[in-house]
Amino acid sequence: MIIDFRSDTVTKPTPQMLDAMLKADVGDDVFREDPTVNQLEKKMAAIFNMESALWCASGTMSNQVAIASHTRPGDEVICEQESHVYYYEGGGIAFNAGCQTKTLAGDRGRINARQVLASINPDDAHKSHSSLVCLENTSNRGGGSCYELEEIERIRTVCDEHHLKLHLDGARLYNALVAKNEKAAEFGKLFHSISVCFNKGLGCPAGSILLGTQTFIRQAIRVRKVFGGGMRQAGFLAATALYALDHHVERLATDHQHAKRIGEALQKHPLVKKILPVETNLVIFELIDGKDPKGFITSLKQKEILLLTISDKRLRIVTHLDISSAMVDHFLETLDQMQL
Ligand SMILES: Cc1ncc(COP(=O)(O)O)c(C=O)c1O
């Protein structure tokens, strides 16, 4: 039995999810005629209390569509230095939107209003036009850290005062909502646009939803088309998202408990030097000096336990739908046997 802690994107659809796909009523979504996509978009807009929503093939696509829809070539996008939009989207901000970035060093992936304010360019022809701030909640490279709503409110105030738009990469927003017992609509109030992924903790094979005003989504439909992201019978995938909204949200608490147990064991382990606080389903840690993370990964791989390095020093464990309590027990026993 392989225990795959590399990412929450490795999950396979459950039989019930496959059944929901088989039963999906579909149509041509480029004609906006797919009833299941339309149902999902309507449902997500209602949950987040935002005007409109758009199905996208991936989290990268919905972030990039949002950035290109909010900005003009030559603008500057403000984001955290290890945020997904900057660090992991292949230079898409430059490639797709023709914008430059100003990256800020955050606290476990989270930036604050003071930093945002200080990073906005003055109205000066020598300077790029600061037009968009992107936040990430939870933060991937920040180890699943969550923003405080009050900080986001302060950032939004800064954005409003300086006429910037605020986008949320909410690839794992449902993890934050469950961990902090927050309401989706509170986020809908604070952001001009939100991207939510279904292919991570929610366990779907593909897809994201982009949320915003009707005017913004009209522009986003154009940009999605230009990116080649107009899918036809996407309802088969949207059906998995509808299924996940009903069946896979509350259970995220189990993933968080699993991550906490793993975090507590690592904290005490003689091979571990440092671990980031565990808030949701991601566990990021470093081994003691002289221990090679690649060797650690290889010895676990021989025992059919998979994890990832995310830098020379840092390792990552992700809990998800396909990780059971028994798998966590087995991993912790294996870890116990890996002494100095
Ligand atoms: C924070 C964050 N945003 C966006 C994405 C992109 O999602 P996708 O893999 O669907 O393009 C990821 C993927 O891991 C992510 O972690």
Q: How far is the CA of 270 from the centre of ligand 1 (A)?
A: 32
Q: How many CB atoms lie within 10 A of CB 242?
A: 21
Q: Outline where DSSP puts E strands in the chain.
A: 3-4, 52-56, 76-80, 100-104, 130-136, 165-170, 193-197, 208-212, 272-275, 282-287, 305-306, 308-309, 314-318
Q: How far apart are CA 270 and CA 255, in angstroms?
A: 25
Residue 55: which of 246, 255, 206 has the closest Cα? 206
Q: How far is the CA of 199 from the centre of ligand 1 (A)?
A: 9
Domains of the chain: 3-8+251-337 (3.90.1150.10), 15-247 (3.40.640.10)
CB 231 within 8 A of CB 278: no
Burial class of residue 55, CB neighbours in 10 A (0-12, 13-18, 19+): buried
Please report the atom of ligand 1 found closest to the CA of residue 60: 11
Residue 340 has what pLDDT?
62
Q: How far apart are CA 125 and CA 104, in angstroms?
A: 23
Give, using CA atoms, the residue closest to atom 16 of ligand 1.
140
| pTM metric for this prediction | 0.98
Q: How far apart are CA 201 and CA 255, in angstroms?
A: 8
Residue 67: which of 91, 50, 33, 42 has the closest Cα? 91
Please report the atom of ligand 1 found closest to the CA of residue 61: 11
Give, using CA atoms, the residue closest to atom 4 of ligand 1.
59
Low-confidence ranges of the chain (pLDDT < 50): none
- Return the best residue to mutate from 89, 140, 197 for the ligand 1 pocket (most ligand atoms within 8 A of CB): 197
Q: How far is the CA of 84 from the centre of ligand 1 (A)?
A: 7
Residue 47: which of 177, 205, 156, 144 has the closest Cα? 177
What is the number of helices (H) and of strands (E) in the chain? 14, 13
**98 residue type, one letter:** G
CB 168 within 8 A of CB 117: no
- Return the best residue to mutate from 80, 88, 194, 210 for the ligand 1 pocket (most ligand atoms within 8 A of CB): 88
Q: How far apart are CA 67 and CA 98, in angstroms?
A: 10
Residue 339 has what pLDDT?
72
Give, using CA atoms, the residue closest to atom 7 of ligand 1.
59
Q: How far is the CA of 60 from the centre of ligand 1 (A)?
A: 6
- Return the best residue to mutate from 134, 140, 146, 168 for the ligand 1 pocket (most ligand atoms within 8 A of CB): 140
Instruction: Output the ligand 1 site: residues, CB below 6 A.
Output: 58-60, 63, 84, 136, 140, 169, 171, 197, 199
Q: How far is the CA of 128 from the centre of ligand 1 (A)?
A: 27
Q: How far is the CA of 290 from the centre of ligand 1 (A)?
A: 32
- What residues contact 228, with CB distance under 8 A and at least 6 apart? none
Q: Are strands 52-56 and 208-212 parallel, antiparallel or unpaired?
A: antiparallel
Please report the atom of ligand 1 found closest to the CA of residue 57: 10
